[in-house]
Amino acid sequence: MKKELIEKTYKLAKDQYAELGIDTDQVLSVLSEITISLHCWQTDDVGGFEKEGAELGGGGIQATGNYPGKAKSIGQMRDDLDKAMSLIPGKKRLNLHAIYGEFGGEFIDRDKIELKHFQGWIDWAKERDTGLDFNCTCFSHPLADDGFTLSSKNEKIRTFWVEHVKRCRAIGAEMGKQLGTPTVHNLWIPDGSKDIPVDRYGIRKLLKKSLDEIFSVKYPKKYLRDSVESKLFGIGSEAMVVGSHDFYMGYTLTNDLMITLDNGHFHPTESVGDKISSLLLFYDEILLHMTRGVRWDSDHVTTLNDEIILIAQEIVRAKALGRVNIGLDYFDASLNRVGAYALGTRAVQQAFLFALLEPHASLVTMEEEGKTFQRLAILELMKSKPFGAVWDYYCLKNNVPAGGDYIAEIEKYEKDVLLKR
Ligand code: RNT
Ligand code: ZN
């Protein structure tokens, strides 16, 4: 897109929003402070680098497709992340999973991982002046194969996973310390049952016991923030997921932890956007996994859809941008993976831009005055305002491709790099 055209259209857009009392320059300065945590696992379909050719296995999450160009080493993964980040405006962090350590060709089991396996990533983040988030990996492992990890009745299995998560939190705290920005550690476990269990209480009691052991180790909040992620069901855990939303709400509220809302983890008619205002009344901070659920899959690439927009609007409307950690969570092996990063992250940023461009105060007044038709009419009107012009200008200001210009960049990267792997 031509610079002059972007600037000209932005000026007109700015005037249109000004008519509604919105200062677009101010909005863009708020937008530029919103950090998105990019999930590292879109580069290689959640395979990780514990061993060569590792693949996502078990745990009820699946990546389908075999689009060429998947990252096969940490070096390739870093190339892809740099490329993706160069196409995304604004602030970014990287969200790592424990299977992405640098194990130097040696097999290090999960209960043996150490800081040294992640020092390279910390240095990588330092060089880029960014932060890291972290996740224990309680799936794709033989000791996760029978469907239970932290809630396993097999004490050997349960303590193995407790040790893994403890080590991950210790590594996360060190990441936060070295980088000067707290690392958010997220815990998701695949535990659940395909068919009707009869000892739900006993099983959940074991998860509680494991969490008590894990979180008995305390770290300063300036280094590490802990969150736990629920799910409604997964493949193989249709009848019961041990770490349900109720379970984790109870646990986190009584233990001063964060809760993760993955919007692919609820019933399709439930709205994560609606949950935000409730949770913010009880939590200082929460974590989001932004994604796109499609039928049984909870991990399609994010697009600018109603669900994502409502989540962004509810955060902005609650003036809670500083209390919500925004992470992404999707993995699709059927399209250009680097393109998927750029597209999905940009879509989430666009949702926040759309939310920030809302004449919120006047909408609240209409609501209070019972002007429900007018409220709906203004919400509709905002959909046809020149929001794209503001987005393009934001990209221009941040030296990243505006409009669809990033598509050609992805095509070039595919030809020059991905297809040569
Ligand atoms: C799985 C959870 C979890 C994972 C990542 C890879 O259903 O959403 O967040 O997607 O940890
Ligand atoms: Zn998730």
Q: What is the pLDDT of residue 188?
A: 98
d(CA 231, CA 266): 7
Can 195 be counted among the known catalytic residues?
no
DSSP letter assigned to residue 257: -
Q: At residue 279, does pLDDT exceed 90?
A: yes
The mean pLDDT of the chain is 97
CA of 291 to the centre of ligand 1 (A): 10
* Atom from ligand 1 closest to the CA of residue 41: 6
Q: Quickly list H helices, 237-371.
A: 245-255, 272-280, 306-317, 337-356, 360-368
What's the pLDDT band for 54 if we cut at 50, 70, 90? confident
Is residue 56 over pLDDT 90?
Answer: no
Mean pLDDT within 400-406 = 98
Q: Average pLDDT in the 242-265 region?
A: 98
| pLDDT tens-digit map of 2-33 | 999 999 999 999 999 999 999 999 999 999 99
Which residues place a Cβ less than 5 A from the ion ligand 2? 262, 289, 329
Tell me what pLDDT residue 115 has.
Answer: 98
41 C-beta closer than 6 A to ligand 1 = yes
Q: Which two tokens stand for residue 289?
A: 């996994």
The answer to whether 297 is a known catalytic residue is yes
Local confidence band at 60 (pLDDT 50, 70, 90 cut-offs) = confident
Catalytic residue among 50, 80, 307, 329: 329
Instruction: Provide the pLDDT for residue 59.
Output: 81
Distance CA 258, CA 119 (A): 26
Domain range annotation of the chain:
1-21+360-421, 23-356
Catalytic residue among 45, 50, 226, 299: 299
**Which residues in 228-261 are b (16+ Cβ under 10 Å) and which e?**
bbbbbbbeebbebbbbbbebbbebbeeeebbbbb
Yes or no: say if 135 and 146 are a contact pair by the CB < 8 Å rule: no
Kindly give the pairing relationship between strand 324-328 and strand 132-135. Answer: unpaired
146-193 confidence digits (pLDDT tens) = 999 999 999 999 999 999 999 999 999 999 999 999 999 999 999 999
pLDDT band at 246 (very low <50, low <70, confident <90, very high): very high
- Per-residue pLDDT at 61: 87
pLDDT in tens, 331-373: 999 999 999 999 999 999 999 999 999 999 999 999 999 999 9
Q: What is the mean predicted confidence (pLDDT) over 386-397?
A: 98
Per residue in 282-331, pLDDT (tens digit) is 999 999 999 999 999 999 999 999 999 999 999 999 999 999 999 999 99
Q: Measuring from atom 1 of ligand 1, which residue has the nearest CA?
A: 61
8 A C-beta contact, residue 71 and residue 418: no
106 is catalytic: no
CATH 1.20.120.1690 fits 23-356, yes or no: no
User: Residue 53: is its pLDDT beyond 90?
Assistant: no
Lowest mean pLDDT among 53-57, 145-149, 225-229: 53-57
- If phi > 0 it is left, if psi is from -120 to 50 it is alpha, else beta; for residue 16 that is alpha
Q: Is 267 one of the catalytic residues? A: no
Question: 111-141: per-residue pLDDT in tens?
Answer: 999 999 999 999 999 999 999 999 999 999 9
Question: What is residue 342's predicted lDDT score, i.e. its pLDDT?
Answer: 98
Question: In 47-132, which ranges are continuous DSSP H helix?
Answer: 74-86, 119-127
Give pLDDT, residue 174.
98
pLDDT of residue 52: 84
Catalytic residue among 91, 297, 371, 397: 297
Predicted local confidence at residue 58, as pLDDT:
75
